[in-house]
Structures are given as structure tokens and as C-alpha cells.
Structure 1
Amino acid sequence: MTKPTTLSALTALLAVLTATVAAAPASAQAAPAPATITVNSAEDAVDADASDGLCRTATGTCTLRAAVMAANAQPGSTIELSAGRYRLTIPPNPDLLNGRTADPTTGDLNVVAPTTIRGAGARETVIDADHIDRVFRMGADTSLSDLTITGGVAKQREVPITDPGGGGIANSKNMTLRRVTVTGNSAGYGGGIFNIPDSHLTLIDSTVSRNTAGEAGGIRFDDTGTVVNSTIADNRVTDDWDRPGSLSGYGGGIDIRGTGLVDIRNSTITGNTATDGGGGINIAPAYLDSLPSPITDIVNLPLGHLALRNTIIAENTVSRATSDCKSVFATIESLGNNLDSGNSCRLSAEGDLPRRDPHLAPLGDNGGPTDTVALLPGSPALDTASDCPSADQRGVLRPQGPACDIGAFEYRQ
């Protein structure tokens, strides 16, 4: 007969288990639980202890940089920002400028764990890199809402390319921007946002405007993306940048270099300029548009894929000539009800309006959380869309007439 387990044996077993857990490496132990981190200082200061999950600088405050460092130790955390201007003042480490190593204590804000960042409104909460570095480097799934990202700069510093560009944001994972403005940033490529391979950007009710680059003035996609109810306007590509690579000057508003689907719906892409390629949208996977022109004329390999629905692509230029779209080795698929001020997007689906003047106002504050481009009376975009979101970029209910309007803006009397 087996003897009953004695109290001393249980005590010994408990001691062994306790010692085993204590000896386990830190990576095997559970990370701190997600937290809601409330920033209470607009200064730029580091977290006193980046491993404890507490947002606390040496003076006891919680800054944005310290909050990001604390959130990196607690995957799934949420950072809350009140109204104010959060200016980055700590320059990047000169020994790490080649982009191989992310340093959370200097330069841009490095997010390496899934994080949500919420502001008080894009007109109220501003994160400003003050031209010392880009604003964010996203190395994990992130969600940003109700804030503005500005003042970021990312220049290519060496060859071969090691720095991912992106003046406002360099994104390498899945990122969602909702009611966000990305404006006034610059880079060698991806002036506003740069999305590297294996990433995805979801842009909703947001504005990417007045960014500059040597390629991809507004947004660069190297993989998939979704743009809904958003405005891409007044971004510029110039030849003033030291941009290594086969091409520069392409994609004033959006430059697509990946082979995944970029899906754009109920959006407005206007006023963007470039020195080559598409002024509004340029799509050419893996720089295949750098091949000799006889090859691009003969071979038809649709590797890239852009889908458009209920979207305005108008009044974009290349060297002052109208150029809304350019595609090489790629398909621009119209799902209907799009407007092109020329015919470079080759729209031919039901409800498409090529060669139309959209009658647009300048980018500005038309109500709502972010700037938009208003439709003027008599615009052919009025009441000519279908299957729209329930509200426009500003939150105005759709439709305001017999049918909803093309683009991100719903006209109302």
C-alpha cells in the first residue's frame, strides 16, 4: 500500500517549485499587465526605470517619452494625452543615426510593444518633433487617434539603405490612424508616413497634408493599406533630397511599391505635386518603373494592385502638368464612382467621372476634427456615389441629398 504524502514532502515540493520560478529567465515570466498611462507633462524626459512599467521620470512626472517607454514594458497599454503641444527636444544619438538600432531615450519615439495612443483631438493634441528626428518609429501593432503629428524629419544617411524613412512615422507592423493629422513632416522618402514590407496602414477620417520628400510626399506603401474617408492633399516631392536608389521624384500624394492591395474608398487626393511619375498616386512595385521604357511598354505584369471607390483624384501635378495617376506593372482597379480630373487613372467602371473638374475648395478647416477639401456648389461629385460610410471625414451624416458625394467631404446646404 502506498503511504500517504506527508506534510514535509509537500513542503519540500513547494520549495522546489518556488526555486524553479525564481530561477526562470525574465523573458519566461509574465510581462506586467496592460495599463492606462496618463501623461501629465509636456516636457521631453526619459523614464527613470524603463523595466518597471511605471511612467515616472527622475522628477516624478509622466512625459510622452516616458509613457512610450513604460508602455513598451506593458504590451497592450493605452497612453492618454490631454490637449497641448508635446515637443521632442532630445536629439538622436549620433552613434545610432544609421538606423540599425532604435534608442527610446533619444530622438524619435520608439514603440516596440502593441500600444494605443489617444489624444484630445487633432486640433488640440500636437506631437511635434521640432525637426530633430522623425516623430514615431512603430515596431509593433499600434493605434493612434485624435492627435496631430508634425515637425518630423528623416533623411537617408547612408547606402545601402538602413533607415526606413518616414518623416512623421516609420511603420513596420499594423498601424491604425483615426482622426489623425500628419502634416509638416519631411524625409528622403515617405514624407508623412513610410510603411515598410510586411506592414499595413489603416487610415480613417484622417488627413495627410503638406509633407515633403524626395519620393512619396504623403504616404509610401511597401505592402498593403486601407484608406477610408481621408484626405491626402498638398504634399510635395522635390529633387532637393539626397535620395539613394534608382528613382526619385515620384508619387506626390501616394507612392506604392509593394505587391499587396492598397484599397482607397471615399477619399480625396488633390493638390499633390511631384517631379516625375504620378502626382497624385504612383504605383510601380519594386521600382520596376526604372526598367528601360521598351520593356515597360511591351511586358504586362500586373504585380501591384490599387482599388478605388467613391474617390476623387484630381488637380495633382507633375512639373505643373496634370498627372493624377501613373501605374507600371500594376493594376488600378475601379470599383465605381471615382472622379479623375484627367484620364491618367484610366477609370472606366460604372459611375466613374474621368476628365472632370471637381470644383474643390482649398484644404482648410471645414468643421470636424481634421482639415478637409470642401466640394463647391455645382461639383460633379455631388450625389454621384454609392455604398458610402454613414458619415464623412468630419462626422457629417451621409447622404445629405438623394445620394452621397464622391470623396471624403459630404456637401450640405
Structure 2
Amino acid sequence: MNRATTLSSLTASLAAVAGTLAAAPAPARADTQAAAITVDSTEDAVDADTSDGVCRTSAGTCTLRAAVMTANARPGSTIELPAGHYRLSIPPDPRYLNTRTADPTTGDLNVTAPTTLRGAGARETVIDADHVDRVFRMGADTSLSDLTITGGEAKQREVRLTDPGGGGIANSKNMTLRRVAVTGNTAGYGGGIFNIPDSHLTLIESTVSDNTAGEAGGIRFDDSGTVLNSTIADNHVTDDWDRPGSLSGYGGGIDIRGTGLVDIRNSTITGNTSTDGGGGINIAPAYLDSLPSSVTDIVDLPLGHLALHNTIIAANTVGRASGDCKRAFAAIESLGGNLDSGDSCGLTAEGDLPRRDARLGPLADHGGPTDTVALLPDSPARDAASDCPSTDQRGVTRPQGPACDTGAFEYQP
């Protein structure tokens, strides 16, 4: 096989896979005049009449599920979610388990129109799927802030192209999460969040932690994404899933399978585990890492693109061995100020710190809306960054010393 033939074959395979996965509903036209919908009950019940534009169950209350159903009929709505524990209790309809059919009355919360959802704080507003289904399926542009997403479980245990994955959230459009915790969710792939082709996730001042999957323990990107001032920690990829061959084992924290740019800045990726590769980050578009090694040796095209700036990728493992990054047919671009506890991320830019012990504490409540990983006093990440945001993930002013600290946490002397 010559180089031109190999390139043509790879490109065709990538396009075929992306085309198969990308089928998703188009976003509805936003109506900027839509009024806010305020939830007043933590029960799980459907809207009695979606045609009247009013969030009201048969009991006369406005539940989260009823609010989502109302917002789907009123594009551009904002859902206000007061402090409380909102537990989903209606199991999914078995007829739709392995399809992309959205059934808003059962199982996960299906968002089909542009919607903004605002909680009272990630420690105060909790949306819990209680393992009956995933939490959200996003079929339109959405913005979520100040809440926790937990208890989601994508029920399918095997590979199905019709299943969007994602234990916490399955996203097919443009989604922004700000001051959100995505924790304690499970799926075959994308334990916390799964983003299909033609989608974009923007993660700001948020934490994705303690999620589990057969691939992509924390976040799966099949297209582009932005991670800023956020923590990806203690997510796990296990072999407890029916996922054959190269479809399993990769990306404990983040797994990137698309060709769009994933840009990670001022973030901390630590304590994540996988079984085959990329304990912290794995990047290999469209499973091209499954090609024979002879093909990999002939052509190593940078079809995928990951950019890192002022970010810690440390103390991630593959099995019992250390392993922060793994790439195939992809480029990891360092913009400087990054720290890698090994040398697998290929950090060579000015200010980079490869092969360093990051000296990090455990994921915990250090103030601020979501849990973070603190720098210990002797961490080499202190004063190691430049061109950083004005605050850290908790809202603490940067810098606290002569320069900003690398990662999502700014050390306070």
C-alpha cells in the first residue's frame, strides 16, 4: 500500500464514521421573548398540556421534567431551578432504549429547543437520574449553570451507533456548562459527557469527576471543544463493558475522537485511570489507533488537534503504570505553561514542565461553587503560568504571587 492510497483510505474511513454518528436533530429557532419558567416541585412528573405554554402537571405544580417539556414548545426559554434535589423516577420506555427517538415523558430529560437552565449553585441544586437513565439528552443549543448532574446511567452495555452514550449528558449541539459539577455517572462511553460529531462543548469553571465508562471516563469529544478553568479528576475507564477490540479502554479523563480543535486552558486533569491508553487524555480520531502498526509507521497524519495552555496533566494512570497522554494520527500542541508528570504529552514549549511531580492535594471543597484540586505549597505549578484568566475556578483573583499558577487552582499563601 503506497502513501497516497493509505491517505485516501484513512480519509474515507474517517468521513464514513463521522457521517454515521452525526445524525442529530437540527436546533429550533430561538424565541428571545420566551419568559422564564420557574420550577416549584422536586417531584418527577410530566407536563399536563404542552400546547398551552404553561408549566403545569396534573397536580398543578411545575416540575423539572414539565419545565423541559414546556421549554421545548417555547424555544429560547430559561428554566430557573431553585435549590433542591431533583430526582428522576420515570424509567425509559424500552422501545426507545437503542434508538435516537426522544421521549420527553420517560427516562432522561430530552431538550429539543434552545434552552438556558440556571440552578442556585452546584452544591445546592442537584439533578439526579438515580440510575434510571442518563440525565440529559441535548438535541438543541443549551446553556447550563450552577448545578450538579449526577446518578446518570446510559443503559446500553454494548456498541450501538444509534446510542449517543453519555451517562450524565449526551450532547449533539452547542452546549455551555458554567460552574457545573458532572459527577457519579456511568456509560459504555462518555461516562460524564458524550459529544457527537458537529457538536461543541464549552466547559467553564466546572468539575467533571468520579464518572465511569468502558471508554472516555470523563468526557468524549467527537468534534471540537473548549475547557477553561476546570477540573477533570478521578474518572475511570474499566473493562466492565461489552466493547470489542480498540473500542474500549482509552481516555480515563478525556477521549478525543474527532478532527475539530479541543482547546484546554488553565485546567487540571489528574487522578484519572484507563485500562489501555491515555489515563488523562487520549486523542485518536475515528479509532484510527486500531489500525495495524505497519500503517501507523507509514503515515502519521495529524488529523486530530489538541491544544494545551497553562494546564496540569498529572498523576493519571493506565493500569498500574503512569500515563497522562496518548495520541495516534493527532497533534498535541503546547502553548506553554503546562505540566506533565511524565513525558507522554510531548510538552516542549516555553514554560512547559515535563517529568515533574505536580504536588497536588485530593479533589475536595476548597471554596467556590465546585470541588477543586489544590496545589501544595511546594508545587512546581506555582507561578508557572502566563496570560491567565483574572480568576481561578473558585473565583479567587489571579495572580496571588509574581505570576499565575498553572492549572485551575490559584494557590493562596
Distance in 2, matches of 1:210 and 1:343, equals 25
Write out aligned runs for 1:40-119 (5 A): 40-119=40-119
- Determine if contact 2:84/2:124 at 8 Å carries over to the other structure: yes
- Determine if contact 1:32/1:73 at 8 Å carries over to the other structure: no
Distance in 2, matches of 1:65 and 1:243, equals 32
Distance in 1, matches of 2:232 and 2:287, equals 22
Give the counterpart letter for 1:376 in structure 2: L
Instruction: Report what 1:348 is aligned to.
Output: 348
Distance 1:157 1:355, change over 3 A: closer
Q: CA deviation at 1:247?
A: 1.9
Distance in 2, matches of 1:79 and 1:244, equals 40
Give the counterpart letter for 1:386 in structure 2: S
- The superposition leaves residues 340-367 of structure 1 with CA deviations (integer Å, 9 ceiling, x where unpaired) of 0000001000000000001000000000
- Determine if contact 1:324/1:341 at 8 Å carries over to the other structure: yes
SS of equivalent to 1:241: coil
Q: Which runs of 5+ in 2 are unaligned?
A: 1-28
Give the counterpart letter for 2:38 in structure 1: T
Instruction: Report what 2:330 is aligned to.
Output: 330
SS of equivalent to 2:289: helix
Write out aligned runs for 1:315-394 (5 A): 315-394=315-394
- The superposition leaves residues 196-216 of structure 1 with CA deviations (integer Å, 9 ceiling, x where unpaired) of 000000000000000000000
Distance in 2, matches of 1:406 and 1:244, equals 38
- The superposition leaves residues 257-306 of structure 1 with CA deviations (integer Å, 9 ceiling, x where unpaired) of 00000000000000000001100000000000000112213312100000
Distance in 2, matches of 1:45 and 1:244, equals 38
- The superposition leaves residues 218-270 of structure 1 with CA deviations (integer Å, 9 ceiling, x where unpaired) of 00000000000000000000000122574201000000000000000000000
SS of equivalent to 1:86: strand
Q: Which has the higher contact order (CA 8 A, sep 6+)?
A: 2
Write out aligned runs for 1:179-258 (5 A): 179-243=179-243, 246-258=246-258
SS of equivalent to 2:51: coil
How many pairs were matched up?
385
SS of equivalent to 2:66: helix
- Determine if contact 1:255/1:282 at 8 Å carries over to the other structure: yes
SS of equivalent to 1:296: helix
Instruction: Report what 1:260 is aligned to.
Output: 260
- Determine if contact 1:279/1:324 at 8 Å carries over to the other structure: yes
Distance 1:238 1:401, change over 3 A: same
- Determine if contact 1:208/1:231 at 8 Å carries over to the other structure: yes
Using structure 2 for the length normalisation, give the TM-score: 0.91
Distance in 1, matches of 2:211 and 2:30, equals 41
Q: CA deviation at 1:320?
A: 1.2
Q: CA deviation at 1:157?
A: 5.7
Give the counterpart letter for 1:251 in structure 2: G
Q: CA deviation at 1:159?
A: 5.6
Using structure 1 for the length normalisation, give the TM-score: 0.91
Distance in 2, matches of 1:371 and 1:205, equals 10
Instruction: Report what 1:133 is aligned to.
Output: 133
Q: Which runs of 5+ in 1 are unaligned?
A: 1-28
- Determine if contact 1:230/1:268 at 8 Å carries over to the other structure: yes
Give the counterpart letter for 1:233 in structure 2: A
Instruction: Report what 2:3 is aligned to.
Output: none
- Determine if contact 1:32/1:53 at 8 Å carries over to the other structure: no
Distance in 2, matches of 1:243 and 1:165, equals 13
Write out aligned runs for 1:109-188 (5 A): 109-156=109-156, 160-188=160-188
Distance in 1, matches of 2:158 and 2:210, equals 26
Same amino acid, percent of matched pairs: 84
Instruction: Report what 1:304 is aligned to.
Output: 304
Q: How well do the aligned residues superpose, as a CA RMSD in angstroms?
A: 1.4
Instruction: Report what 1:18 is aligned to.
Output: none
- Determine if contact 2:157/2:241 at 8 Å carries over to the other structure: no
Q: CA deviation at 1:53?
A: 1.6
- Determine if contact 2:158/2:242 at 8 Å carries over to the other structure: no
Distance in 2, matches of 1:292 and 1:366, equals 46
Distance 1:32 1:349, change over 3 A: closer
SS of equivalent to 1:154: coil
- Determine if contact 2:30/2:75 at 8 Å carries over to the other structure: no
- Determine if contact 2:30/2:114 at 8 Å carries over to the other structure: no
SS of equivalent to 1:278: coil
Give the counterpart letter for 1:99 in structure 2: T
Distance 1:321 1:164, change over 3 A: same
Distance in 2, matches of 1:37 and 1:160, equals 35
SS of equivalent to 1:162: coil
Q: CA deviation at 1:160?
A: 4.2
Distance in 2, matches of 1:133 and 1:210, equals 17
- Determine if contact 1:157/1:163 at 8 Å carries over to the other structure: no
Distance in 1, matches of 2:379 and 2:95, equals 54
SS of equivalent to 2:247: coil
